[in-house]
């Protein structure tokens, strides 16, 4: 993993890992949102937001000196993260629990 990461810019790494983590967060939400569980969009949004905040502090510790503006670490990939989370949650839920 380090080999390709050395050739990418820090904000590119942040963007694509956030996109990927949006998919992971969606998978977690889909497993927790069984039809009988009562798990709803607010619970899912809490999980997604928690993962996003945790990644911010990880990226801040790793890339703070490598970016021009520290605020970019918070905003880079926010749209990709939440859009991938929502779309993939719907897709995973449909695959796991909707039987035709």
d(C-alpha 54, C-alpha 73), whole Å:
12
Q: Is 53's pLDDT higher than 70?
A: yes
Question: Phi/psi at 38 (nearest 5 deg)?
Answer: 80, 10
Q: What is the pLDDT of residue 94?
A: 94
Tell me the pLDDT of the chain averaged across its residues. Answer: 91
Is-contact 85 22, C-beta < 8 A?
yes
Q: What is the pLDDT of residue 4?
A: 58
Residue 36: pLDDT band (50, 70, 90) is confident
Is-contact 22 91, C-beta < 8 A?
no
Tokens coding 93:
């839920």
Q: Where are the domains of the chain?
A: 40-93
pTM, two decimal places: 0.87
């Amino acid at each position: 993993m380090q080999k390709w990461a050395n050739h990418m810019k820090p904000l590119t790494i942040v963007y694509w890992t956030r996109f990927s983590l949006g998919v992971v967060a969606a998978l977690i939400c889909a497993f927790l949102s069984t039809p009988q569980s009562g798990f709803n969009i607010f619970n899912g949004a809490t999980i997604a937001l928690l993962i996003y905040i945790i990644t911010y502090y990880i990226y801040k510790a790793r890339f703070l000196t490598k970016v021009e503006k520290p605020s970019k670490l918070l905003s880079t990939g926010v749209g990709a993260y939440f859009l991938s989370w929502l779309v993939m949650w719907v897709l995973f839920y449909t695959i796991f629990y909707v039987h035709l």
